[in-house]
Structure 1
């Protein structure tokens, strides 16, 4: 299964010394939710499987919903689906002269922020303080249950050519979901 996600906006590096790193990652994570929700609605491979991510199945080996600090999250690339992901990322960045815009962080640290934002939070400490899901009982959809489901990735940085653009980063992420293992648990996801 293949599809494309996009993002336009700030993508700051979130090193250990940055106090707002959880909020930055959560903002990017929330950006992808509507795209993943739309994927569930229209992709033939996903349409018959929405009960595993919409909260109607709440326990057992089939559910993809995990709760972090009382908030539901669902990663589509998940051990229960037996799937892994390959990512092909085009990262468009503004240039000044012959170099990337200063003080915006280097590419590898931006990718670390992106990978953290593509996965569901693993524990309470990865969410912003006092964060509550704006989706009520429905899970916030994430591409990955955990970023260890990424098997291959490529990153191509290039110039953002939009004149007078205030966009910090524009990403096009081509996702290839592949079956990793055949198990009874994963068989309900088909091939």
Structure 2
């Protein structure tokens, strides 16, 4: 299964906090929610059942959220990512202005995965009625088996410090199972 996720907004490098990552997570949630409403995921609502009801569920509950990562150990899936980061700055500046690329990539990967504990969420943050479940790409960023990153100049107006990120996702099965058929 292959698809693309996008993000337009601030992408901090050094010192990115939970409050900086959650808006990215919410942006990806909306896109992944749309993806889950289409085939082949639409016919796999069993994967969103509560854990105690169905062993193959991808739901993880903590900090008041019910996270539903597509790429999970339970489904024997990994992800390969191709990231295109576009900013207004000319080539060369894009790697240094606003944080170096490896720290920005770390922030991006952290926002693609579900938080592991309440400290990784902004204090007092609660899911909205449209975030049940809260869709994430990854259970853990260790499930990313390859990443390629390209940085280039965006030739349209955008706020300073903001990026347009286009992320191509390819799901990779580590084992064929009934739970991951069609994915």
Q: TM-score, normalised by structure 2?
A: 0.90
Aligned to 2:44: 49
What per-residue deviation string (whole Å, max 9, x for no partner) do you get for residues 86-136 of structure 1?
Answer: 000100012169623965111111100000000000111111111111136
The separation in 1 between residues aligned to 2:55 and 2:22, in whole angstroms, is: 26
Number of equivalenced pairs: 180
Q: What stretches of structure 1 of length at least 5 have no aligned partner?
A: none
Q: What stretches of structure 2 of length at least 5 have no aligned partner?
A: none
Residue aligned with 2:23, SS: helix
Aligned to 1:145: 139
Residue aligned with 2:37, SS: helix
Given that residues 94 and 101 in structure 1 are in contact (C-alpha distance below 8 angstroms), is that contact kept between their aligned partners in structure 2? no
**1:188 pairs with 175, 179, 182, which one?**
179
Q: Alpha carbon RMSD of aligned pairs, Å?
A: 2.0
Pairing 1:72-151 to 2, within 5 Å after superposition: 72-95=66-89, 99-100=93-94, 103-135=97-129, 138-151=132-145
What per-residue deviation string (whole Å, max 9, x for no partner) do you get for residues 49-73 of structure 1?
Answer: 12322xx434242111111212111
The separation in 1 between residues aligned to 2:120 and 2:170, in whole angstroms, is: 26
